[in-house]
Amino acid sequence: MSDSRAVLEGPDIHRALTRIAHEILERTKGARDVILLGIPTRGATLAKRLGERIAQVEDVKVASGSLDVTMYRDDLRSGPARALGRTELPADGVDDKLVVLVDDVLYSGRTIRAALDALNDLGRPRAVQLAVLVDRGHRELPIRADYVGKNLPTAKSEKVKVLLTEIDGRDAVELIK
């Protein structure tokens, strides 16, 4: 039997995304030439929400989309077949833009490595940054997030589950033991 507890609820997630939106605006000096690319499934939803927050704060429309990394993963042979997600890029593409990759949980870093490989096949961004809702540690690759909603130290045996209203009917981050 698994034991789970909520470590973030809806209002906490809302505040974290608002803070990340402000940090992106500060670091990019107004978010010009910024593209938010979410890693499906929940990263794409978070990217959309971040774009909405930035628009509320700065009245600037930030292009957003999604970046499927399925075919770039290094664990394709070791698990069950995965369904392909969607890659949706803004019409202008990613060349010479500052791309902020958005994901729900940063763990080993392997998904982000796959995202960097996928992005490389799509164009040449000026720079790439990373925003995550939860950083749970245990990195296997030298990858670090530029924007973090919550640092959540975990044991390797634990799982972090992100729930979003658009997909799951409610907002929460659960730690499952």
Say what the pLDDT of residue 153 is: 95
Residue 147, both tokens: 């924007």
Answer whether residue 79 shows pLDDT above 70.
Answer: no
Domains in the chain: boundaries: 12-73+86-153
Provide the β-strand partners of residue 134. Answer: 105, 150
Answer whether residue 59 shows pLDDT above 60.
Answer: yes
Encode burial over 36-53: b for 16+ CB neighbours within 10 A, e otherwise. bbbbbbbbbbbbbbbbeb
Q: What is the pTM of this model?
A: 0.95
Whether the ω angle into residue 41 lies within 30 degrees of 0, i.e. cis, is yes
Q: How confident is the model at residue 75 (pLDDT cuts 50, 70, 90)?
A: confident
CATH architecture under which domain 12-73+86-153 falls: 3-Layer(aba) Sandwich (3.40)
